[in-house]
Amino acid sequence: MTCSLNLKTLQVYKLPDFIMSIDPDLFRQVLSQFATGITIVTTCAGEEIHGLTANAFCSVSLTPPLVLVCVDKSAHSHDLIAAGRNFAMNILKASQEELARRFATNNLAANERFAGIPFRTEATGAPILLESLGWLDCRLFAAYPGGDHTIYVGEVLALGRNQDDDPLLYFQSGYHKFEARRNPH
Ligand SMILES: Cc1cc2nc3c(=O)[nH]c(=O)nc-3n(C[C@H](O)[C@H](O)[C@H](O)COP(=O)(O)O)c2cc1C
């Protein structure tokens, strides 16, 4: 039997009722088995800048160059990204765990989050953290509903690699360093 999918008619379907029985703790535990890097998503709307720690980030397309990040609707940056129509992804290095914790501290004001952190702006005005591993400055391309998050897709207008260093990793609810690169056995 062949199975074909007509993408033109693809709809967002209502989730079946059995989804409701998924245990939220188990959901978190299973997802924590997926190792990721860590980013700080920054944005600017008018005079206001803000940012949050995020690991729900991935590349989407090469032509055009697109990336996505999922942002909680309750996050302060959520509405700012929509208003400013921009965001920058700053990929953290292993020594920036303190930054990751700081930008994940609920309701910490922007001036305290960015205190002592050198940054500049590039194409969109979103802060580019100078000491990150790499960065992508994005114009908002699309926003899709994703439950209690919004899936923000950004078109990359500028990007760069800052340093050749090890990444900050996140696995099983904890921060880690990439020791295998130094000690393969
Ligand atoms: C390791 C880690 C990864 C996170 N990933 C995300 C994410 O992908 N999207 C998101 O909206 N929040 C994520 N968060 C939570 C936000 O960083 C956190 O709620 C932050 O305080 C939100 O900013 P606000 O306090 O200004 O609203 C993550 C937190 C941690 C510790």
How far away, in angstroms, is 67 Cα from ligand 1 center? 18
Residue entry with tokens 């800048």: 49
pLDDT number for residue 10:
52
Residues 146 and 51: their CA atoms lie apart, in Å, by 20
Question: Edge-to-edge, what's the strand order for the sheet holding 36-37?
Answer: 36-37, 168-171, 174-177
Q: Please give the distance, rounded to the nearest whole angstrom, from the Cα atom of residue 52 to the centre of ligand 1.
A: 6
Listing DSSP states for 50-112 in one string gives EEEEE--EEEEETTTTEEEEEEETTSHHHHHHHHHTEEEEEEPBGGGHHHHHHTTSTT--HHH
Sign of CA dihedral 143, 57, 46, 128: negative
* Pocket (CB within 6 angstroms of ligand 1): 38, 52-56, 70-72, 75-77, 103-107, 170
Which atom of ligand 1 lies at the shortest distance from residue 77's CA? 26
The answer to whether 151 touches 185, Cβ cutoff 8 Å, is no
Structural contact between residues 114 and 127, judged by C-beta atoms closer than 8 angstroms? yes
pLDDT in tens, 150-184: 999 999 999 999 878 999 999 999 999 987 655 55
Distance 96 CA to ligand 1 centre (A): 16
Q: Could you give the CA distance from residue 19 to residue 111 in angstroms, rounded to a whole number? A: 41
Residue nearest to atom 26 of ligand 1 (CA): 76
Q: Is the peptide bond before 184 cis (omega within 30 degrees of 0)?
A: no
pLDDT above 70: percentage of residues in the chain:
85
Q: What is the third-level CATH fold of 34-174?
A: Pnp Oxidase; Chain A (2.30.110)
pLDDT digits (tens, 9 = 90+) for 8-59: 555 555 656 555 689 999 999 999 999 999 999 999 999 999 999 999 999 9
Report d(CA 95, CA 132) in Å as an integer.
10
Nearest protein Cα to ligand 1, atom 6: 54
The domain locations on the chain are 34-174
Residue 2 has pLDDT above 50, yes or no: no
Q: Which residues contact 60 (CB under 8 A, 6 or more apart)?
A: 66, 67, 68, 153
pLDDT attached to residue 1: 44
User: What pLDDT is stored for residue 155 in this prediction?
Assistant: 98
